[in-house]
Structure 1
Amino acid sequence: MSTRRLLVLPHLKVHNANALSSPFTIGFPAMTAWLGFVHALERKLKASDYPTLRLVATGVISHRCDLQTYQGPGDYVHSIVGTANPLDRDGQRSAFIEEARCHLDVSLLIEYRADDDDLERVEKTAFFERLNQLLSRMKVAGGDLLDFDFPELKALDDSEAKEVQKVMRSLMPGFALLERRELMQEAMKQGTDALDALLEHVTVHHQCEQDENGDVIWHSHRKTHGWIVPIATGFQGISPVGPAKNQRDADTPHRFAESVVTLGEFKMAHRIEDLDEALWEYNADLPNDLYLCQQVQTETPHSGLF
């Protein structure tokens, strides 16, 4: 019987987070943004007298996502609400690449480990004071962290599903972001192209039929039950590792990469019974040039991605 320790960061209010998670997707920030934030927090805590503290896995619970778009009267599509700052010398909007933004209310479940000495210090008031100081100065998914509820520490018995459910119910109403790569894998095994497989699962099909009274009844359905969405979960290298001209850090090898996209699902938090079902971690598959964020319970091989 093992004990798993969680740091809960409830209701992070993020303003103007990056909603363009990949060249193919817009909406909720990429999983790389969330794990990147937790990695940055770990480095700051290690430098703040907690040298053995490790934040090993992260769960993301979405309470609200307000995508900044606009649809005018008679418009067929939505337009991105951009700021175009700063204006040029004539007071006109300068040419720029549009940046999709969203406002978020998100809770994070962070599994942590440390030596016994650091574990004792984590439970003291000084740790929370330092944590609050760090959070108030950090960016989250490129957005400003405006407010957050007081962090909490949880110790869970790994064999007790009721303890996990109690934690997840405390985060309701909210949706945990899960990976559904297996849907892509099943379709691709049948010869479907990766992009076609993704579109098949997010497309809504509408059908109508006429009943015995002559009334037309419409039915809408998708290929799979659940709130299935495309999500960006990492990068694949497309160039050799080495130096690059004008790179910021001359001591760190560089390579060009492209986004990796697969299918995910937003699932109501109270339906999560296994903690590993909601947690994500880093996984670098160097032979295949893949740098991924994936679920703790995910098994290789790395198929079902494009």
Structure 2
Amino acid sequence: MSKPRHLLILPRLRVQNANAISSPLTWGFPAMSAFVGFMHALERKLPDDLYLQLEQIGVVCHSHEILSSSAGYNLQQFHLTRNPVNKDGDTAAIAEEGRMHMDISLVFAVSGDNCRADKGRTAHIAEGIDDIVHGMRIAGGSVIPRNDTKRHPQLVSMPDDADEYEAMFRKHRSRLLPGFALVLNEQALTDRLDALQTTAPGASRLDAWLDFARLHHQCVIDADDGAHRWEVRSTPGWHVPIPIGYGTLSTHEPGEVANARDATTPFRFVESLYSIGQWVSPHRLDRPESLLWYVDNDLEHGVYRLNNDYRDHKHS
């Protein structure tokens, strides 16, 4: 993706009861598709005097609280709502919902005529969009008023010069501290697969992906006295399995699938696509492209996914 010319920064959004279940196999933080969906919903809500084209989005998490409690040995269970009983007086069946509170900052790559307004006008636009956001939901959670009145939204124009461009981003990324940004690191999956195949040649990419979802206890022998101890295997980086979109399983013409919501639109059954994300402190990001996520669909092959260029801009 080309480098963004303008950034909209919405700092310290407090979100209550967001969806903590990101896919059939992952939980702990909303999927990036929830934030991209929010970006599209926000763009549709903007009036003409505040309108910006929202093209990419980055998320920095400052704090979070999963609404769960211990359910025994190394297990957690979500705090679920108590629904009305059915006609027999029994507890009605429910779909499990995982909820969380989080404190996040959002960074958008934006474009449009309003981006080139004067400083006072861009400040008004940023504040107006921030007011709209506080009446919306993010990943199913409610955005509540800030308790920090010193942090204000900003609409920033990035300079053309490469050095000034990076200097401008370094200036604004400090407003995102302390916190961690979720980026994509698919190379970590390839590296883990190569490591697994050195001892298990039959290991698959799924085995490598699941390897990131577990704590590995290993026996370590002290070289001096031969003493044994068990410790959790530690590797560089904070890597997590994440969903990144959907892949097509089958395609159907309009009206072929019974009870479809829209009988005039082609229908596709899909399954989740997964990769590896990494939580990175914003001070380690030199360019906004490393932070931002964007839609990267391959319609010919039925792939609907999100992408991020962290690896392309990561310094060795």
Task: Give TM-score, length-normalised by structure 1.
Answer: 0.84
Aligned length: 293
Deviations 1:212-254 (A, max 9, x none): 56765444324x4110000111111222153343344444433
- Paired with 1:37 and 1:186, the residues of 2 have a C-alpha distance of 33
- Paired with 1:274 and 1:129, the residues of 2 have a C-alpha distance of 24
What does 1:223-262 align with in structure 2 at a 5 Å threshold?
A: 224-243=235-254, 244-262=257-275
Q: Residue 97 in 1 paired to residue 95 in 2? A: yes
Change (3 A) 1:76 1:186: closer
SS at match of 2:5: strand
Out of 119, 128, 136, the residue aligned to residue 116 of structure 2 is 119
* Residue 125 of structure 1: how far off its partner (Å): 5.6
Conserved? CA contact 2:184–2:310, under 8 Å: no
* Residue 269 of structure 1: how far off its partner (Å): 1.2
SS at match of 1:240: strand
- Paired with 2:221 and 2:42, the residues of 1 have a C-alpha distance of 55
- Paired with 2:311 and 2:229, the residues of 1 have a C-alpha distance of 41
The one-letter amino acid of 2:156's match is: K
* Residue 84 of structure 1: how far off its partner (Å): 3.6
* Residue 287 of structure 1: how far off its partner (Å): 2.0
Conserved? CA contact 1:52–1:118, under 8 Å: no
Q: Residue 263 in 1 paired to residue 276 in 2? A: yes
- Paired with 1:157 and 1:175, the residues of 2 have a C-alpha distance of 25
Greater displacement, 117-126 / 232-241: 117-126
Conserved? CA contact 1:57–1:296, under 8 Å: no
- Paired with 2:11 and 2:84, the residues of 1 have a C-alpha distance of 34
- Paired with 2:131 and 2:267, the residues of 1 have a C-alpha distance of 32
Q: Residue 209 in 1 paired to residue 218 in 2? A: no
- Paired with 2:306 and 2:244, the residues of 1 have a C-alpha distance of 5
Q: Residue 27 in 1 paired to residue 24 in 2? A: no
* Residue 11 of structure 1: how far off its partner (Å): 1.3
Conserved? CA contact 1:231–1:261, under 8 Å: yes
Conserved? CA contact 1:18–1:101, under 8 Å: yes
Conserved? CA contact 1:233–1:261, under 8 Å: yes
Conserved? CA contact 2:8–2:126, under 8 Å: no
Q: Which runs of 5+ in 2 are unaligned?
A: none
Conserved? CA contact 1:202–1:228, under 8 Å: no
The one-letter amino acid of 1:152's match is: Q
Q: Which runs of 5+ in 1 are unaligned?
A: 300-306
Change (3 A) 1:176 1:96: same
Conserved? CA contact 2:247–2:302, under 8 Å: yes
Q: Which residue pairs with 1:162 in the alignment?
A: 167
SS at match of 2:48: coil
Task: Give TM-score, length-normalised by structure 2.
Answer: 0.82
Change (3 A) 1:91 1:4: farther
- Paired with 1:153 and 1:238, the residues of 2 have a C-alpha distance of 41
Q: Which residue pairs with 1:44 in the alignment?
A: 45
CA RMSD of aligned residues (A): 2.8
Q: Which residue pairs with 1:303 in the alignment?
A: none
